[in-house]
Amino acid sequence: MSYIIEGRTGPWELVIGLEVHAQVVSNAKLFSGASATYGGEPNAQVSFIDAGFPGMLPVINGECVAQAVRTGLGLNAEINLVSRFDRKNYFYADLPQGYQISQFAHPIVGKGIVDIELESGEVRHIGVTRLHLEQDAGKSMHDQHPAESFIDLNRAGVALMEIVSEPDMRSPEEAGAYLRKLRTILRYLGTCDGNMEEGSMRADVNVSVRKAGEEFRTRCEIKNVNSVRFVMQAIEVEARRQVEIWESGASVDQETRLYDPARSETRSMRSKEDAHDYRYFPDPDLLPLVIEQAWVDQLAAMLPELPDAKKARFISDYGIPAYDARVLVMEQASADFYETLAKGRDGKAASNWMLGDFFAGLNRLGKGIETSPISAATLGGLLDLIADATINGKIAKEVLEAMMETGESAAAIVEAKGLKQVTDTGAIDAAVDAVLAANPDKLAEYKSGKEKLFGFFVGQVMKAMAGKGNPALVNEAIKRKL
């Protein structure tokens, strides 16, 4: 369903497309042997090629090509067996060559599709126009000196995949869902770590507005947005700015803008260039990139199970709702944890405990699933104690808290604290008799028709038994006695 902005002249619809730059997971850069690892000392990972020394010839990194093909396969996209590298010419201090090696007319990956699921449960199909390989630029650092800018070329020449979507998104929510889904797919494939904070995945956001049924109007591009939240905010702010311009009788200029989250506004950066401004031409130092279909098929056969397939399998194999499955497969670590936990156990109980108390415990400790103090097997031990009626659900919550703090097994904690559930019907009957004898007024009220008091008696018996009574047996005993 479209997201509508109500203007003075009526409703406006948003049109959104994303260009996502995803840094390829590889040891070396796209055309040089310099390390592509994040976090080195400034200018410590720079080859003569990256620094733009004359006479240096690029040599393509085969693993970067394989990563691009894997990503294309994961996006259900066409793989082009012949592609070509071009020079994109522009001047900037952090681009020592004076051009960026990219793919303009003949990208390695063609049209694909990404399915996104919205909060309402609606599934939308977002088209992918293309994926091409290109070099990243270096980094300009403007905060190191009061009067000078510093340049760090460690990032120069690192392989990027630029993944361009069709203008198929119609709301900030859809753009956020697309970006999250894309990041999940890339992480599953192992082709990009998706770390937006470190800049290894960033988005250029194209936004325009129009009246229903119109052709596309002029768009603006918001550059280098580095979080899903900021992408969604930038779309909202920019769309409202454009509506105000159109409704004032003026026209929106095609331009590149920056989003300022502190001021919640977009600012003009430069007038938008078209392709001819970059004077693209085939890179004379590189032959066309030709790959074999057999090699592509080999890579396809080795792909991991991707999020959509895993979600469908979790629903069918473990009987969990679609929502639970969607949350569990968002991160591969969560999906793997769940699979270990649910194997041979009640799948729904496993997802309830994992998505509820376990995730809440991790949040409380400020930890992710990768750094969890307890393993899936250890949490499974707790579920086993509930299943065989050693403890009840209420006691289990208490045990889980202790497990998260100490890392100990559920069985050890239950034994040490004497928390085993009481299933001795004689002990339960005695506790029920004591509660009924202590509350003759409530007993009289119950017998005169106040059946809601049944819950009161259950609560009092459980309290008397320090929460260790088997709930089903306690209920049964109270019913019998009443």
pLDDT of residue 2: 66
Angle at 363 between CA 347 and CA 359, to 5 degrees: 5
CA dist., res. 43 & res. 144, Å (int): 15
8 A C-beta contact, residue 112 and residue 128: yes
* The token pair that represents 214 in the structure block: 């119109």
**Per-position b or e across 391-401, b if 16+ CB within 10 A of its CB:** bbeebbbebbe
Q: Which tens digits make up the pLDDT trace of 442-454?
A: 777 777 777 777 7
8 A C-beta contact, residue 237 and residue 261: no
CA dist., res. 55 & res. 194, Å (int): 35
CA distances to 58, 89, 106, 189 from 280, in Å = 18, 7, 12, 31
pLDDT of residue 110: 98
pLDDT of residue 457: 76
* The token pair that represents 45 in the structure block: 């990972």
Q: What does DSSP say about strands 281-282 and 265-271: parallel, antiparallel, or unpaired?
A: unpaired
pLDDT of residue 429: 74
- Only one residue has tokens 């415990």, namely 361
Coil, helix or strand for 355?
helix
Domains and CATH numbers, the chain: 4-299 (no CATH), 315-417 (no CATH), 425-481 (1.10.10.410)
CA dist., res. 133 & res. 128, Å (int): 15
Low-confidence stretches of the chain (pLDDT < 50) are none
Q: Which tens digits make up the pLDDT trace of 194-235?
A: 998 888 999 999 999 999 889 999 999 999 999 999 999 999
N-term to C-term CA, the chain: 55
CA distances to 106, 212, 347, 443 from 66, in Å = 17, 42, 36, 75
8 A C-beta contact, residue 165 and residue 189: no
pLDDT of residue 442: 73
For 74-219, where are the E strands, in sequence order? Answer: 82-83, 86-89, 99-102, 112-117, 123-135, 139-141, 150-152, 159-165, 201-210
